[in-house]
Structure 1
Amino acid sequence: MNRRALIAALAATPLAAPALAHSPKTDTGRLIEWEAVASSHVGPRNVTVWLPPDYDQGSRHPVLYMHDGQNLFDPARANFGEWGVDEHLVRLIANGQVRSPIVVGIWNTSLRLREYVPADLIASLPAEIGETLTTLYGGQPLSDGYLRFIVEELKPQVDATFATLTGRDDTMISGSSMGGLISLYAMMKHPQVFGAAACLSTHWPLRLERLDEAALAQWRETVVQTWSRVIAAGLPDPATHRLYFDRGDETLDQFYAFFQSRIDQTVRAEGWGPDRFRSLVFPGAQHNEASWNQRLDVPLTFLLSPQT
C-alpha cells in the first residue's frame, strides 16, 4: 500500500461539522480523520473519509458508507488486515469501471455486535431463540440507534462538508460479516436513504453450543423461516434498489450456505431479478479481510457501475 498523508480534522459532532483540512493530492486520494464523532443515539466513534483523486475537479460524488472503518484503508490501523478500498477504487475509476465515490468508513466500537445485529430480526424470533442470540451478541440490539446515527447525524454532516450527491440513488452502504447483516438492515429500515447495499460474507446466526443433529436442524429452520419472512416484508422496491450478497466456502463462511441460499430464494421470490440482485460464491475464500480485499472489485463495480 502506498504511503499517503493522513489529515487530522477537528473532533466532529452532529451539531457542528469539523473543519476540512486539505492535504496534497496523492495518487490514492486523500484520507480525512474525524475523531470521536459524537451522537445522540450511540457512543462516539472515529470516522475516516476517503476523497478520490479527482475530488477537486468540481464534480459532486456518490457516497459509499462502510462499516468497520479502521480496516478499510490503512494496514497500520486495521485489526486483522485491510481491504485496500482506496487502491481498488483508484484503479477502477481510472479504467472507467466505476463512478468516482466518496467513501465514509465508520469505525466499530466495543459494542460492534450489538450495533450490527438487526433489532427487528431478533425481536421476530421465539423468545428462547431470541434470548440465546441476545446473550451471544452481548445484550439487546443497538442497531436502530446506530442506523439513526448514520442517517440523521453522520450523513447530514458528510453532505454539509463534502461535494456529495445526496439522493438515494447516489448513497450506498456495505460491510462484511456482521457488517453485511447491518448493511441489509440499513436498506430495509431506511430505503429512502440507501439505494444499494453490498453484504460480504454475511454472518447469519450460528448455534455454537453442542446440539444433537435433529435439534440443530430445527433451530436453524426456525431462524431461517422467521428471518425470511421479516426480510421479505422489509425489502424495498427492486425497481429502485439493488442488493449484493457473497460468501466464500472456507473457515466461517462454509457455515453460511444453508442460510444464504434460503435468503436468496426469499429475495428472488420478491421480484428481484439478476439486474437488481446478485449472490455469489467464491470457492476457496475465507472469512477475513484478505479474502474481502481479493474480491472487492466485484461488489464495488456492482454498487458503483456507471450504467446504474
Structure 2
Amino acid sequence: MKKIIFFALFYFCFSMVNAQKITAKYGIVELYEKFASAHVQPRNVGVWLPQNYSSKKKYAVLYMHDGQMLFDSTITFNKMEWGVDECLTKLIREGKIKNTIVVGIWNTQENRRQEYFPQKPYESLAKEDKEKVERSYVKSGKPKEFKPTSDDYLKFIVEELKPFIDNTYSTLQDKANTFIAGSSMGGLISIYAICEYPQIFGGAACLSTHWPGIFEAENNPVPESFYAYLKEKLPEPQTVKIYFDYGTVELDAMYPPLQAKVDEIMVSKGFTKVNWMTKEFKGENHSEKAWKKRLPIPMTFLLQN
C-alpha cells in the first residue's frame, strides 16, 4: 500500500509547462494561451484539427482533460503522451469513426484535484468525511487546502469553451456529436460531466477512473458517495454512451472492486453493451503509455460512424 500511495502522490502532481508550440504527428494543434474564464483560472487550450479539416465539412467535438498530455511528449512532465492525433487519424482514415476535432483542456497544477473531484458527491459527505478527504490531499503537499470546484470547471466548459469552439470551428453542435474524456481524476470529472449535463454530452470515456477519490483504500467514504450520486444522476441509457476501463497494477490495482460496484449500478439503470462498456487490461498501469495503447477502443465506441 505504501508503494501505491507514493506512486499516486507523484503521479497526481502534473507539471504545468510553459506555453509553446505543440507538435502533432498528424494534423495540427492550435493553441489558445491563458484562455480566460469567469468561472475558473485561465488555462491553455489546444484544439487538434485532423489533416482533412475543412470549413466545408462538419466535425464532432471531443473535449479531453489534462490537455497538455495528449499530443506532444516533448512538453509533458514524464515525456509520455496519449497519441490522440495518431489514434484518431488512423480511425478516421479507416472509416471507423466520424470526422472529429479534439479540444485539449490543460490542467492547472495547483487546482487540478479541486477541479476534477465531483463536487456534489463531496458535498454529500459528512463533515468528518470531508475532513478526511482534505487531510489526504493536504498531506501530499498540494493543495494547501481542499475544496472541490468542479461545478465551476464544468460551467467553464459548457458556458464558455463550447460556445467559443462552435463559433470558431466547423462543428456539429448537438449532443450526439459532443463527447468528453479523461483518465484517473479526469475519468471522474468526465462521468460527472455527462451526469450534470446530459443535454450537452452524448458520450463519456473514463479511463482508469480514480474511484477512491483519495489515496487510501481502508475506511474510505468517497466511493460510496460516488455510487449514491450515480444511482440518482446517471442519464437515461438510450441517450448516451459511457466507457470505463482499468488496469491491474500500481495505482490501478485499487480499481477493480470499485469498478465492479459501478458496473452493478450501470446494469441496474438499464445500460447494456449497446451504450456501455467496461474493459479490464491485465498488467497495465496508470500511465499515458498504457492509455495510448488502448485508446482506439473507447474512441471507436464513442465516435463510430
Using structure 2 for the length normalisation, give the TM-score.
0.87
Q: Residue 45 of structure 2 contacts residue 103 of structure 2 at CA under 8 Å; is this kept in 1?
A: yes
Higher relative contact order (CA 8 A, sep 6+): 2
2: CA distance, partners of 1:205 / 1:68: 19
Distance apart, 1:135 and its partner CA: 3.5
Matches within 5 A, 1:110-121: 110-121=110-121
1:242 alignment partner in structure 2: 241
1:262-284 Cα shifts (integer Å, max 9, x gaps): 01111111011111111110111
Q: Residue 27 of structure 1 contacts residue 53 of structure 1 at CA under 8 Å; is this kept in 2?
A: no
Matches within 5 A, 1:113-262: 113-137=113-137, 138=143, 139-205=146-212, 208=215, 216=218, 219-220=219-220, 222-262=221-261
Q: Which secondary structure state, in structure 1, belongs to the residue aligned with residue 278 of structure 2? A: strand
Q: Which secondary structure state, in structure 2, belongs to the residue aligned with residue 281 of structure 1? A: strand
Q: Residue 66 of structure 1 contacts residue 175 of structure 1 at CA under 8 Å; is this kept in 2?
A: yes
1:63 alignment partner in structure 2: 61
Q: Which secondary structure state, in structure 2, belongs to the residue aligned with residue 76 of structure 1? A: helix
Matches within 5 A, 1:25-44: 28-44=26-42
Q: Residue 178 of structure 1 contacts residue 203 of structure 1 at CA under 8 Å; is this kept in 2?
A: yes
Q: Percent identity?
A: 45
2: CA distance, partners of 1:162 / 1:235: 30
- Are residues 1:273 and 2:280 paired? no
Amino acid at match of 2:27: G
2: CA distance, partners of 1:133 / 1:144: 18
1:241-291 Cα shifts (integer Å, max 9, x gaps): 110000000110011112111011111110111111111101111000000
2: CA distance, partners of 1:119 / 1:207: 14
Q: 1:30 to 1:208 in 2, by over 3 A?
A: closer
- Gaps of at least 5 residues in structure 2 are 1-18, 138-142
Q: Residue 185 of structure 2 contacts residue 213 of structure 2 at CA under 8 Å; is this kept in 1?
A: no
* Count of matched residue pairs: 278
Q: 1:56 to 1:280 in 2, by over 3 A?
A: same
2: CA distance, partners of 1:187 / 1:207: 22
2: CA distance, partners of 1:132 / 1:194: 32
Q: Which has the larger radius of gyration?
A: 1
Q: 1:276 to 1:7 in 2, by over 3 A?
A: same
Amino acid at match of 2:41: G
1:279-307 Cα shifts (integer Å, max 9, x gaps): 1101111000000001110011011011x
1: CA distance, partners of 2:92 / 2:275: 22
